[in-house]
Amino acid sequence: MTLPRKFRGDLAFAIGACFWFCWSALPAQTQAQALPEPEPSTNQAATETVSGDTAVLVALEVMLQAGDFEGALALVRATPALANRPDGLRLQAQILITLGRTDEALAVLEGVLAKVPKDGLARFQIGEAHFQAKRPRAAETAYRLALASDLDPARSGLARQRLAALAARTGWQGTLTALIAPDSNLNSATTTRNIEIFGLPFELNEDARAKGGVTSALQGTLGRAIPLNRTFYLSGQFTGLISDAPGRVFDEAYSQIRIGPEFRLPQEGRLAAQFTHSRRWFGGSLFEVSNGTRLEASLPLGPKTRFEMTARAETADNQINAFRSGDVFVLDLGRTYFQSASKLNRLGLTLVRKDAESETEAFDNATLSVGYLFPAPWTSSVYLEGYVSGRWFDAASFAFGVRREDSEMGVSARFTKRDLNFKGWSPFMTVSLSEARSTLPIAEFSRQRVEFGLTQTY
């Protein structure tokens, strides 16, 4: 049935109002996530529906008021005029969240963002799904991206409340990442065949040169903060890494324990001072033991910008070469700017001072990195990062007769398939390329690496 043109606008308004009224019948805890009026691009579909659609919306209202969310979901999906519209998809996702089916909701919402990357409400709902499923890191990132969009005041206020609740959490918190990585240069070693030591020519054997192969790794953290009063906490964390590479000599393991006081500040800010103890193994043998202190700060620089700082001072005891033992000082600075519902950029600077028993092993190092997160085709996101690094040793090498100076640059791209997930985990692939140049030919190398794994963030 075709309606006269002069009545189409009135019908569109009536259907939109009924749709809004049905949505308001969801439980009070979800009313703060109410959807906006249908986008202009969907109005034509609404005006071309027949009057029977109004009956569908009335039936939907009754189901939601009665708590029949399964029935309401089935009805929305069975109604073409509602099922494929952005607002209809967001309604489906909200019902799924209410039902506790967060993985399905995430897949639906990522599909919405693939079509409308600036949809701040869809990103907010992603935050709600992760929040309900107790995935704090993923929820925090989603809320901050949503707040960088044109989110209305009601949802903006709720997102800030959620962020405050996440910052005040005290239970056990953990992360876990598993990956498999084909690597062209497992040991970051030289591709040079011939070198000179004390002016004499030598040819390197295969054991001293770059090795290719496939590495598997498992890394994670587990930590907790114990409140002593409203702003003062005692926090601790364990960090672990196990990496298996071809030829046991390249296997790596790392563990760190840190504990100390933490101060919680307004706007999700925090300051922490911790004592640290760490151990590193290579090839199954203990390589280095370190003890030190660590200072951390996370502060807002504006409504869309976060500043992160970590300063470390450690004493490293090298178990293989005593000349490499000494004090290590590290300063990490980072700034994250949330641009929109699907974009952010990061700027990082790392400064390192390594003292050692031997001047030839002491050096200064500086690394500058720039990263950018943006949406990509096939319901995926890409985090692209490039870096440049320089390292300058204090004294000339005894064997090579020159002071070592290294420069390195690289780029990596992580592709994450956002609509595929299990318990919040999505598959990713990272491709990285790096190239190093040095005054010592033996320190020059190139490297290509691909990682496949699962992640809850970006």
One-letter-per-residue 3-state SS of 56-70: HHHHHHHHHHCCCHH
Share of residues in the chain with pLDDT > 90 (%): 54
Structure-token match 């970590």, residue found: 310
What is the pLDDT confidence band of residue 19, given thresholds at 50, 70 and 90?
Answer: very low
Neighbours of 399 (CB within 10 A): 15
Query: Nearest-CA neighbor of 87 among 155, 23, 143, 157?
Result: 23
Mean pLDDT of 24-47: 34
- Residues 300 and 410: their CA atoms lie apart, in Å, by 29
201 vs 354, more confident? 354
Task: Give residue 3's pLDDT.
Answer: 40
> For 221-267, what is each residue's pLDDT tens digit?
999 999 999 899 999 999 999 998 887 777 899 999 999 999 999 88
- Residues 438 and 142: their CA atoms lie apart, in Å, by 42
State how far the alpha carbon of 441 is from the alpha carbons of 71, 78, 117, 350, 444, in Å: 70, 67, 47, 25, 5
Task: Give residue 187's pLDDT.
Answer: 56
Instruction: Provide the CATH topology of domain 5-167.
Output: 1.25.40
Share of residues in the chain with pLDDT > 70 (%): 81
Task: Give residue 401's pLDDT.
Answer: 81
Two tokens at 86?
């952005």
On the question of pLDDT at 115 being above 70, the answer is: yes
Mean of all residue pLDDT scores within the chain: 83
On the question of pLDDT at 196 being above 50, the answer is: no
- Residues 397 and 361: their CA atoms lie apart, in Å, by 9
418 vs 48, more confident? 418
Two tokens at 254?
């790392």
- For 118-269, where are the alpha helices, taking DSSP H only? 120-132, 136-147, 153-167
Query: Nearest-CA neighbor of 106 among 405, 458, 425?
Result: 425
* Domain 173-455 CATH class label: mainly beta
On the question of pLDDT at 304 being above 80, the answer is: yes
Mean pLDDT of 189-198: 53
Each domain of the chain, given as residue ranges in start order, spans 5-167, 173-455
Burial class (CB in 10 A: 0-12, 13-18, 19+), 136: buried
